[in-house]
Structure 1
Amino acid sequence: MTTYLAQEMPFPDTLPEGFAALTNEPVFDPVKHLQLEAPAEVYSLADLGYSDTEIAACPTSFGATSVFRILSDEGAAALLEVAHLLEAFTTSNARIARNVRGGAYRSKFLRDLCLHPEVTKFMSGICGIPLLPHTIPHQLGHLNYNPETVGENVDKWHVDTLRIDYVMFVTDPKSVEGGEFQYYRGTKDEFLARKKAGEPLDESKVVSPDMPGPGYAILQQGNMVVHRAKGLQAAGERITMVNGYVPRDVRFPDFSRFDQLSLVDPTHVVGAEYLRHRQWMMRERLAAEIAGFTFHTDTDAMADNLSDMADDMSDVAAQLRAAGQAEIEHFGDG
């Protein structure tokens, strides 16, 4: 039987042009900096209202968790120091006023945290499938900073450009007024239908998890869970980190949303990252099929398999040619 569990792809061993490594940051120490504590509750996609058919198209039935801990107090303090060093590199887009993507290139601390196997194993256990750190480096350790305008939302209602990710507070959420992370306990189609009809959200379905402090997070199937980050109601500092994962089973279709990534990430980096990611998926699938070789006579199945691979390649080419032609998707602030 063919096993389609991919091997982890090494992080690039060279930095993109314009990305210089930090020279004065703390060193990541998992013994001192990690404090992994399982969430008390795990919610399924069915709990959010998704149908069996919709769930079957996903790599896992997992939806979201209650709040859980990732970092120790010392780890949270070290990550905050790194976030302050990276703040000089913030960019903005139609959804987020101030964010840093690609920080894993600049910060070894951030990279080591995002790629750490103990954390990956922990997240895999929560969502019920084997995961790997995202093979697009810009999907690792994304940092969101509060806008400079008080009251402006950090991020609009949206779903993510990846399947599995955690959202972790870097700053102490108890030290500011506002700035809540929220998600909608319903489906994205339900959310969109209400928006299109001009109907208010069902406030009973808006969940604002109580974050005890920095280093606490929720894990979610981000492309299925509608969520946002509210603005501060008074001057202060709010920073969160989002770290992405891919299913280790490469039979699941890619969900990188390159059309969206090409609008927010550097043009000299994003296409090469995406191509490498899709090439890795195809290579791992081919390697699994070669390793699982058996003699058989079903030439139609052989041809179908090759056609599927050709379709994957054609899809990558089409995505690359269409780069920058879409618009940033979100559901607005309300």
Structure 2
Amino acid sequence: MPRAEPLAFPTELPEGFPRLEQEPEFKPGAHLALEKPETIVTLQELGYTPGEIADCPTDLGITSCFRVLSDEGVACLQEVARSLARYARSNDRIPRLVRGGVYQSRFLRDFCLSPEVAEAVSGICGCEVLPHSIPHQLGHLNYNPETVGENVDKWHTDTLRIDYVLFVTDPNEVEGGEFQYFEGTKNEMQAITGRGEPLPADRVISPSLPGAGHAVLQQGNMVAHRAKGLRQAGERITLVNGYVPREIGVPDFTRFDQLYLADPKHVAASEYARHIAWIGREMLQAQIERPEYTDDRERLAGQLEAVTALLSAAAAEIRAAGDARMEHFGDG
């Protein structure tokens, strides 16, 4: 299958994202300590059907925790995350977060766009991925709420396919704040919470977390997960970084209706339009560079119509933005 070429980070930055005046420089050789997870829970093991899995780029569900950053890398990321904390805001799902930090921090941007990390993530997924082409899907930072006991994030699935949750601070140095996922499908989660029933305790999994600089990788739109609140005052920071499949034939999964509720209005629609334009360009480029000499006119017409359908659907989504509500499964 044709592969997309990476989309360069925008050269013109939007208003409202002041740059950090002082920050470290990202150095892959010094700041990365990439390892592989010991275990992977597949979508099949979570209960998804072959038909549901066929629509996904990989059978990856969620991994055990694995190391991403060296001690020096952790120290640098902590410095940047603490510097960005003053820009934290909230939404209907998360009490305290920073999105768009890649516009403000060169370190955060370079780390999130790291080809070394993307290659490692590809190896774990079993499919080649690229850092997400929507900047607000890179380097999402969650901070512990100021109210002890309030959940860091509600039960939810993500607005993108593949991402990792990295612990910027050591989760073992605080009381509470567990990252958890539901051992089941998102439809099961919807059914249980829709009935107002508690989740079965034996199906709520809290992965073992060795320390700061470690992460879990997941197919975030398929795995229901949350972050609990702290039981005592402390510092808890995580980073979520998103990826897109490089294979052009994989259908896009971007919940723009949700992103428009979460991100600044003057940025969200522009980022999404650019993302879709990139996909369309890559679809057309594949036809230009690898022409198919055939009299199958239906097939050739269908390839062009696929691009038209992609652009038309995205245009309709952009026009309809703002009519949705922020989706989640509650606090559990």
TM-score range with shorter-chain normalisation? over 0.9
Aligned to 2:68, what secondary structure does the other structure show? Answer: strand
Aligned to 1:311, what secondary structure does the other structure show? Answer: helix
| Corresponding residue number in structure 1 for 2:187 | 189
Partner Cα distance (2:106, 2:64) in 1: 29
Aligned to 1:36, what secondary structure does the other structure show? Answer: coil
Q: Show CA shifts across 1:278-298 (max 9, x none).
A: 000010111112111132111
| Corresponding residue number in structure 2 for 1:281 | 279
Q: Which one-letter code corresponds to 2:4 in the other structure?
A: A
Q: Is 1:65 aligned with 2:68? A: no
Partner Cα distance (2:86, 2:249) in 1: 39
Partner Cα distance (1:303, 1:183) in 2: 43
Q: Is 1:296 aligned with 2:280? A: no
| Corresponding residue number in structure 2 for 1:231 | 229
Aligned to 2:33, what secondary structure does the other structure show? Answer: strand
Q: Which one-letter code corresponds to 1:264 in the other structure?
A: A
Q: Show CA shifts across 1:17-67 (max 9, x none).
A: 111221201111111110001100112100111110110011111111001
Number of equivalenced pairs = 332
Partner Cα distance (1:304, 1:24) in 2: 51
Q: Is 1:149 aligned with 2:128? A: no
Q: Which one-letter code corresponds to 1:72 in the other structure?
A: S
1:1-334 to 2 correspondence within 5 Å? 3-334=1-332
Gaps of 5+ in 1: none
Partner Cα distance (1:277, 1:70) in 2: 27
CA contact (8 A) 2:284 2:307 kept: no
Instruction: Tell me the CA shift for residue 270 of structure 1.
Output: 0.8
TM-score of the superposition, structure 2-length normalised? 0.99
Partner Cα distance (1:319, 1:250) in 2: 21
Instruction: Tell me the CA shift for residue 230 of structure 1.
Output: 0.2
Partner Cα distance (2:13, 2:117) in 1: 24
Aligned to 1:165, what secondary structure does the other structure show? Answer: strand
Aligned to 1:16, what secondary structure does the other structure show? Answer: coil
CA contact (8 A) 2:39 2:64 kept: yes
Q: Which one-letter code corresponds to 2:314 in the other structure?
A: V
Q: Which one-letter code corresponds to 1:58 in the other structure?
A: C
Aligned to 1:293, what secondary structure does the other structure show? Answer: coil
Partner Cα distance (1:302, 1:74) in 2: 53
Structure 1: 4+ residue segments shifted above 3 A = none
Q: Which one-letter code corresponds to 1:120 in the other structure?
A: A
Partner Cα distance (1:196, 1:97) in 2: 23
Partner Cα distance (2:203, 2:181) in 1: 8
Q: Show CA shifts across 1:251-291 (max 9, x none).
A: 11111100000001011111110000000001011111211
Partner Cα distance (1:104, 1:211) in 2: 26
Q: Which one-letter code corresponds to 2:152 in the other structure?
A: V
Partner Cα distance (1:4, 1:324) in 2: 34
Instruction: Tell me the CA shift for residue 199 of structure 1.
Output: 2.4
CA contact (8 A) 2:43 2:60 kept: yes
TM-score of the superposition, structure 1-length normalised? 0.98
Partner Cα distance (2:277, 2:85) in 1: 32
Partner Cα distance (1:276, 1:194) in 2: 37
Partner Cα distance (1:269, 1:115) in 2: 19
Partner Cα distance (2:245, 2:324) in 1: 26
Identity of aligned residues (%): 60
Partner Cα distance (2:299, 2:29) in 1: 49
Aligned to 2:34, what secondary structure does the other structure show? Answer: strand
